[in-house]
Structure 1
Amino acid sequence: MKFMKLGSKPDSFQSEGDNVRYVSSELATDVIVIIGDVKFYLHKFPLLSKSARLQKLITTSTSSSNEENQIHHHEDEIEIAEIPGGPASFEICAKFCYGMTVTLNAYNVVAARCAAEFLEMYETVEKGNLVYKIEVFLNSSILQSWKDSIIVLQTTRALSPFSEEMKLTGRCLDSIASRASIDTSKVEWSYTYSKKKNLDNGMRKPQAVPRDWWVEDLCDLHIDLYKRAISTIEARGNISADVIGEALHAYAIKRIPGFSKSSSVQITDFAKYRALADSIIELIPDEKRSVSSSFLTKLLRASVFLGCDEVTGLKNRVGERLDEANLGDVLLYDVDLMQSLVEVFLKSRDPREDDLTVKASVAKLVDGYLAEKSRDSDNLSLQKFLSLAEMVSSFPRQSHDGVYRAIDMFLKEHPEMNKSEKKRMCRLMDCRKLSAEACAHAVQNERLPMRVVVQVLFFEQVRANNNGSSSTGNSTPEVIPASRSTNTTDQEDTECWDTDDIKALRGELANLRLAKNQQENNNKGKLIKGGGLGVSRVFSKLWSGKERSGDMISSSGTSSPGSVNDDSKSSSSTSKKH
């Protein structure tokens, strides 16, 4: 930190209690200057030689007040109601008048400069006066230093409006902006940068100055000064929008409590942090990629928690980039907010563009969100679950494991659901797109409707048969699962599946897997004789039982496992006739 010493005489100011300061001297003091609640017992002559304002006050015998500056006169007593910096800054000026040693630095130089201006300590009064010396110090040292300029800028806020009238705040902002905008190859001063550095075999590589080298040092500024600093830097036009975005991210992390945490924190001064969040939102550059999606989602979460008024624009930016969001960042959103973000995402998509990958990312995010939110049974109703899930039900997914997990978690937390509600929920899931692990879990899942379990078992058989018969060219016809159907009869609400048959089907499926594994080990290239026949017999028994009970699916365009087998046989017999 830069500093400047003025004067050469030893400091002879002493205190008597907290409210009295006096100069230890053989000469009796002849004037009392009252600053706030502190009395200074001083000598007239040193003060008269340096301060034009004190000259007027001391030489004037009248006790009338100067209304403009709120200064009151008494015989040997002067009361100054307001002086920039209070007693501390006046003492610096008084010591300078006595020629005593005074040390100026970034923390007190603005207060001393404002007080010297107030006391009219100009060159016209005496050459080399305090105003001149402080200006030299500011221009040659303080404003040439990166960190000192930031410290000085912070002190100007407490000294407003004096610092504004003297353009000290603007000079600090210009100094900061000029250095932040300089070519990074010319940065030779120290700065704070705590991001992880690249290491090579435990040795730090020599690195160029990063583009965002300045962002952390500005995080100590009050939001009012920070807004002005960022605006001044942007106005120079040398800093890219993504670096400005990085600066805002760093500031939010440091200044908004719990910004980077996955849970809410206790905040007492909501108005303060609400204004802070609003200001950060206002500063976000218009460029779409200027800030990360993670930053936007966290800022939206904080803004909603703090009750910010203007979050529509931020909500739109988050929704448009919902495919980039992380699950951990959106888990603190309520379901209504999440649904509105999906709506924004859908409206922002161009129907002419093929954005399957983007939609798949959103589908995965929503599946994970529903699975985690299902643990909160009080705030996620069936209707809200279905409403959000159906918004992305048509989105492409390589696997429906995420959908299954969300459904299973919800069923687990809501055991009171009836069969009709369970079936409506399970229609969101395509059993053909479950992984082997998900299938293994589903067939043992007693929370699922029996019909869904049977479908899972059936498609496991299809998958096993296809894998086993691939070498011989045999194929299994495509099956449209009844779980995706929306048109079913009321009879579907009553299930007549035989539990023993289901157990038998599971056993046959296990045998089929074993046979398949043996075949792969033996590299025979053919299915082991009889593999899958037991499963087919059990399926035939199950579906014939359903026909006898009258509980058949009457959905158009939807096939049950039994109907597929019948269609396959019919197709086969027709081909034989030809």
Structure 2
Amino acid sequence: MSSSVRHGSSRGQAWFCTTGLPSDVVFEVHDMTFHLHKFPLMSKSRKIHRLLSELDEQRGPARRRRRRRSSGGDGDDGAAAETEIEEEEAAEQQQQQVRTKEQDGQAYSIVFPDFPGGPGTFEAAAKFCYGVRVDLTAWNVAPLRCAAEYLEMTEDHAEDNLAARAEAYLDETVLRHPGDATRALKSCEELPPLAEELGIVSRCVDAIAARASAAPRTWFDDLAVLGLRMYRRVMEAMAARGGDGRAAEARESCLVSYARGTIPGLSRSMRRRLASAPVSSEVEQKELLEAVVASIPADRCSGRVVTAKFLFALLRTAHILRASDAARAALERKAATQLQQATLEDVLIPSYSGAAETLYDVDCVHRIVRHFLEEEEVRGGEASSSGAIEEEEAVPAVAAPEVSRPSAVAMVQVGKLVDSYLAEVASDANLKPDKFCELALSLPDHARIYDDGVYRAVDIYLRAHPRLTAEERDRVVGVVDCRKLTVEACTHAAQNERLPLRAVLQVLFFEQLQLRRAIAGTLLAAAPLAAGGGPPHAMRLQQQQRAVPVGAAWPGATALAQESQVLRLDMDSVASRVQELERECSSMRRAIKKIDGRGGSRSPGADGDAAARPAAGGGRWRARHGCKFSTQVCDSHARNVVASRASRMGMSP
């Protein structure tokens, strides 16, 4: 019989069990009818056994009434009584949602309008009753368990029944892996309230929350099949469990996977959606997005899973779907915590509001920058207080700069990002000077090492807004600190016709000031070398070595010692070269003196000729060899030059 059941066929909305015997019971499940046999079903299902037994008891009196009607009956009173009895029986059967009808084959008909799992689950349960092997999976185990409970297919009625098998598979296979538990939880969405009463939903939720961090991360995409209600229960269970950093990262991964799978168009690079994810309307997407925002951890995220790109993609989608103000404000504050990791593409959020004049939402970015600065102030205060506590506990001062370094690096990264954003939105003709200046001046001075980026944005803005008033132009240019421009930026600014004259003069002044400081620094650095003193690096090395306690290990001692050794070698080579040049100069002076002496002995004539010829000969020799030495004649000319300069200045020689 079991082999023939495998060949059960469907004809339209009817399913027939081809066992070779005529069916004696018909089941109607939703819009599907099943022509089966009562004895296999009664052996496994107590409910079907009870219903068919009651129908058999009711069929005897009905047959006797039919015989009396066929024989003519006892008159009108008897016919009326029999009609009343039949109406009462019909009402009773309707309340039980079971009706009987007698056909040519004397088949019973039973209706199950609220059967859990629908026709597919009833077909699998019927096959189990016929002895056909039913393959349990994560998708059908919960419906079959509910069907077994509905049909009372328990161990009390028959051994190794469907309820026991489903429970064993659920505990031993499904609940051991969060991916299978997620599929089973999805199947429970169509089984209320029986799945809740049997505890299947709670067990699946607990299994997902308990094994989320231990299982491989490949199952996260399965969360996209869950509805909003089930997803919230899973996230609440995971948050209630808490745990270490790995559990928090798993919770963030579940959040990101669910958002990417259920909200289409979440990012410009996320066009593909999961095929198993349901297609949601705009209202449902808005509810999903707000639920995802509510699931984001309140504390600072790790940044490895809930990245800046993901948060800004949520914020952009929230603008498109017109999410609530609370959801958008929460996203802006959360995006501010990852602002240093954002790129220019992330912060370019278009203005989807009809009241906005600019192409991009500059106000939103300005609010995010303010939230970032507030967060940095809080973190800076905490770092300073913790540094003070450590100082009181005599912690070495070497580790103190490492506390503020991450904050400083993040501030510089945000400064570069804001300058790039300003350069991108500066070409918008509708961007007002006030908004441009507010965003440019929102960052502190230490956020920009150089002002080249903001100067580039100002230049683009002036080019795109040629009709600014003089006051507006001065206000826009005033966001640039001319003292923090590089040489290239100063050169460009000095030739920029769009800048006001006052700004150009400031650029030229500070450029000259920087040049003087650079020359002065070079002279000061070369002075100790010329005087034969130790180099500044060596002096700094000695000072830092004195600052370190005796017996303590200084991390930079080795590097500075190597640098000092290299400088000493360079100084020795320079000193030897200077000595060689001095010897060469001495030998050349002696040679010149000999030449001058020979010229004087050959011409013992007049003093004027004797003085002129050596000078001419010496001048030709020096001109030929390119040497310039202070002879007696040059000294006299030097004194005359000094005297004439003093006389020009109105001084006595």
Length-normalised TM-score, structure 2:
0.60
Matched-pair identity in %: 36
1:437 to 474, 485, 488: 488
Are positions 1:91 and 2:123 aligned together?
A: yes
Larger radius of gyration: 2
Are positions 1:100 and 2:132 aligned together?
A: yes
Name the SS for the 2:175 alignment partner.
helix
Residues 254, 426 of structure 1: alpha-carbon distance in 2 compared, 3 angstrom cutoff: same
1:443-462 Cα deviation digits (max 9, x unpaired): 34333334333433443344
- Shift of residue 440, structure 1, vs aligned partner: 3.3
For 1:113, give the aligned amino acid: R
- Shift of residue 259, structure 1, vs aligned partner: 3.0
Q: Distance in 2 between matches of 1:139 and 1:91?
A: 24
1:119-147 Cα deviation digits (max 9, x unpaired): 12222222222212222222233333454
Q: Distance in 2 between matches of 1:268 and 1:401?
A: 47
Residues 52, 80 of structure 1: alpha-carbon distance in 2 compared, 3 angstrom cutoff: same
Is residue 221–residue 261 contact of structure 2 (8 Å, CA) maintained in 1? no
Are positions 1:341 and 2:373 aligned together?
A: no
Residues 444, 139 of structure 1: alpha-carbon distance in 2 compared, 3 angstrom cutoff: same
Are positions 1:363 and 2:438 aligned together?
A: no
Are positions 1:45 and 2:39 aligned together?
A: yes
For 2:493, give the aligned amino acid: A
For 1:136, give the aligned amino acid: A
2:511 to 427, 437, 460: 460
- Shift of residue 397, structure 1, vs aligned partner: 1.9
Residues 220, 90 of structure 1: alpha-carbon distance in 2 compared, 3 angstrom cutoff: closer
Name the SS for the 1:33 alignment partner.
strand
Residues 264, 422 of structure 1: alpha-carbon distance in 2 compared, 3 angstrom cutoff: farther
Are positions 1:305 and 2:320 aligned together?
A: yes
Name the SS for the 2:283 alignment partner.
helix
Is residue 173–residue 232 contact of structure 1 (8 Å, CA) maintained in 2? yes
Q: How do 1:255-274 residues align onto structure 2 when only pairs under 5 Å count?
A: 255-261=262-268, 269-274=281-286
Q: Distance in 1 between matches of 2:96 and 2:204?
A: 27
- Shift of residue 215, structure 1, vs aligned partner: 4.3
Name the SS for the 2:44 alignment partner.
coil
Aligned residues: 441
Q: What residue is the counterpart of 1:513 in the other structure?
A: none
Are positions 1:318 and 2:335 aligned together?
A: yes
2:463 to 412, 415, 426: 412
Residues 264, 170 of structure 1: alpha-carbon distance in 2 compared, 3 angstrom cutoff: closer
Where in structure 1 are there 5+ consecutive unaligned residues? 1-6, 194-213, 475-578
For 2:119, give the aligned amino acid: P
- Shift of residue 47, structure 1, vs aligned partner: 2.0
1:65-104 Cα deviation digits (max 9, x unpaired): 6777755554432222121111111111111222233322
Length-normalised TM-score, structure 1:
0.67
2:252 to 241, 245, 267: 245
Q: What residue is the counterpart of 1:477 in the other structure?
A: none
1:139-174 Cα deviation digits (max 9, x unpaired): 233333454333222222222332222111222223
For 1:436, give the aligned amino acid: V
For 1:344, give the aligned amino acid: H
Deviates more, 1:214-223 or 1:445-454: 214-223
Residues 83, 401 of structure 1: alpha-carbon distance in 2 compared, 3 angstrom cutoff: same
Q: What residue is the counterpart of 1:54 in the other structure?
A: 48
1:315-367 Cα deviation digits (max 9, x unpaired): 33334554454433222161122222233344442586676555444433322
Name the SS for the 2:147 alignment partner.
helix
Is residue 13–residue 21 contact of structure 1 (8 Å, CA) maintained in 2? no
Q: How do 1:161-560 residues align onto structure 2 when only pairs under 5 Å count?
A: 161-182=193-214, 191-193=216-218, 215-216=220-221, 218-240=223-245, 241-261=248-268, 269-291=281-303, 292=306, 294=308, 295-309=310-324, 310-311=326-327, 312-319=329-336, 322-332=339-349, 334-348=361-375, 349-350=377-378, 357-378=409-430, 380-392=431-443, 394=445, 396-468=447-519, 470-472=521-523
1:161-213 Cα deviation digits (max 9, x unpaired): 3222211122222333333355xxxx6xxx454xxxxxxxxxxxxxxxxxxxx
Is residue 149–residue 176 contact of structure 1 (8 Å, CA) maintained in 2? yes
Residues 284, 34 of structure 1: alpha-carbon distance in 2 compared, 3 angstrom cutoff: same
Q: What residue is the counterpart of 2:554 in the other structure?
A: none
Residues 374, 160 of structure 1: alpha-carbon distance in 2 compared, 3 angstrom cutoff: farther
Is residue 426–residue 460 contact of structure 2 (8 Å, CA) maintained in 1? yes
Q: Distance in 2 between matches of 1:319 and 1:81?
A: 54
Q: Distance in 2 between matches of 1:9 and 1:192?
A: 42
Is residue 65–residue 72 contact of structure 1 (8 Å, CA) maintained in 2? no
1:4-36 Cα deviation digits (max 9, x unpaired): xxx953434533433111111332112221112
Q: Distance in 1 between matches of 2:363 and 2:370?
A: 11
Residues 54, 462 of structure 1: alpha-carbon distance in 2 compared, 3 angstrom cutoff: same
Q: Distance in 1 between matches of 2:269 and 2:494?
A: 35
Deviates more, 1:258-267 or 1:158-167: 258-267
Residues 216, 16 of structure 1: alpha-carbon distance in 2 compared, 3 angstrom cutoff: closer
Deviates more, 1:302-311 or 1:106-115: 302-311
Q: Distance in 2 between matches of 1:68 and 1:453?
A: 95
- Larger RCO of the pair (alpha carbons < 8 Å, separation 6+): 1
Residues 65, 148 of structure 1: alpha-carbon distance in 2 compared, 3 angstrom cutoff: farther
Q: Distance in 2 between matches of 1:85 and 1:455?
A: 80
Name the SS for the 1:40 alignment partner.
strand
Q: Distance in 2 between matches of 1:265 and 1:405?
A: 38
- Shift of residue 368, structure 1, vs aligned partner: 2.1
Q: What residue is the counterpart of 2:167 in the other structure?
A: 135
Deviates more, 1:37-46 or 1:458-467: 458-467
Is residue 110–residue 152 contact of structure 1 (8 Å, CA) maintained in 2? yes
Residues 68, 108 of structure 1: alpha-carbon distance in 2 compared, 3 angstrom cutoff: farther
Q: What residue is the counterpart of 1:115 in the other structure?
A: 147
Q: Distance in 1 between matches of 2:109 and 2:319?
A: 57
Q: Distance in 1 between matches of 2:271 and 2:46?
A: 57
Deviates more, 1:422-431 or 1:231-240: 231-240
- Shift of residue 112, structure 1, vs aligned partner: 1.6
Q: Distance in 1 between matches of 2:6 and 2:300?
A: 62
Name the SS for the 2:132 alignment partner.
coil
Name the SS for the 1:105 alignment partner.
coil
